[in-house]
Amino acid sequence: MSHTALNHLLNSLSPKDFALLEPHLEAVDLNPGAVLYEFGEQIRYAYFPITSIISLLYVLEDGASAETAVVGNEGVLGVTLFMGGTTTPTRAVVQGQGIAYRIRADILLEEFNKGEAIQNLLLRYTQVLITQMNQTAVCNRHHSVEQQLCRWLLRRLDRVSGNSLNITQESIANMLGVRREGVTEAAGRLQRDGLIKYNRGHLEVLDRDSLEVRVCECYEVVKAEFERLLPDKEQQVSEKLPPDYFRKVGSEQLSME
């Protein structure tokens, strides 16, 4: 695996600050459907995705759910730790297969509580994630299913290499909290207009520029906040990693109930 395919937050740390976390980071394979956090459970690990995508879902008593945020290689799963909690109010499910770094929650919290650069970085990311959650709530209430679908697709494309996604319309409907028929109609219009191609659980984006024209303002609001609070760093931490840095410790084999 290329050492350049690292997490944006880890890349943003100085070599000195990165060295505080480096001995405790473990690279793990995350499989689609794996449940990393369940509502009310104790958080044992925080995850820095590299090529994986994790969906945060709020689950109702009747089993219905909706996605409140998505975490990819731009961020970290486990911000509840930084807000004074040790349990999570949402379910975290792997939505895109790939690799992530995990670190024990108590170790990351210890470094966070030192109040230096790591704390500042993680708090800025937490603000970005809260913005994403707020904007998702507004979008789900006020914008059309087609606009929500465009937003959902663009967020995924920002976190993967390439333009293809393996996802069913049923899964998208569950994450948007809408009826499957609504997603089918919206995807059908996008396909007829040449923006996407969908066939049996495989979706390919053909015209990203047109998706960005048709999406609501919610996508750009979150993107702009991320770029404001977490700008790219010219010198990447990956350039300083030893050749044997990646230590595979196995796969997360949990599955959604």
Same fold, 1-142+235-257 and 144-215: no
Helix axes 218-229, 117-142, angle to 10 degrees: 170
d(CA 19, CA 25): 10
User: Quick check: 232 pLDDT over 90?
Assistant: no
Judging by DSSP bridges, how do beta strands 202-205 and 196-199 pair with one another? antiparallel
- Answer yes or no: CATH 3.30.465.10 is held by domain 144-215: no
| 107-130 pLDDT, tens digit each | 999 999 998 899 999 999 999 999
pLDDT tens digits for 40-86?
A: 899 999 999 999 999 999 988 888 889 999 999 999 999 999 888 88
Measured CA to CA, the distance from residue 52 to residue 75 in angstroms comes to 11
Task: Report pLDDT digits (tens) over 165-199.
Answer: 989 999 999 899 899 999 999 999 999 999 999 99
First vs last C-alpha separation in the chain:
31
61/12: higher pLDDT: 12
Neighbour-count burial for 198-230, b at 16+ CB within 10 Å, e otherwise: beeeebebeeeebbeebbbebbebbbebbeeeb
CATH 3.90.1200.10, applies to 1-142+235-257: no
Which SS3 state, helix, strand or coil, does residue 166 take? strand
pLDDT, residue 19, reads 94
Per-residue confidence at 233, pLDDT binned at 50, 70, 90?
low
Q: Long-range contact list for 197-203, CB < 8 A, 24+ apart?
A: 198/169, 201/166, 201/167, 201/168, 202/164, 202/165, 202/166, 203/153, 203/164, 203/165, 203/166, 203/167
At 64 the three-state DSSP class reads: coil
Q: What is the 3-state secondary structure (H, E, C) of 9-41?
A: HHHHCCHHHHHHHHHHCEEEEECCCCEEECCCC
Encoded amino acid at 28, one letter = V
Q: What are 128-164's pLDDT values in tens digits?
A: 999 999 999 999 989 999 999 999 999 999 998 889 9
Domain ranges, ordered by start, for the chain: 1-142+235-257, 144-215
Q: How far apart are CA 77 and CA 64, in angstroms?
A: 22
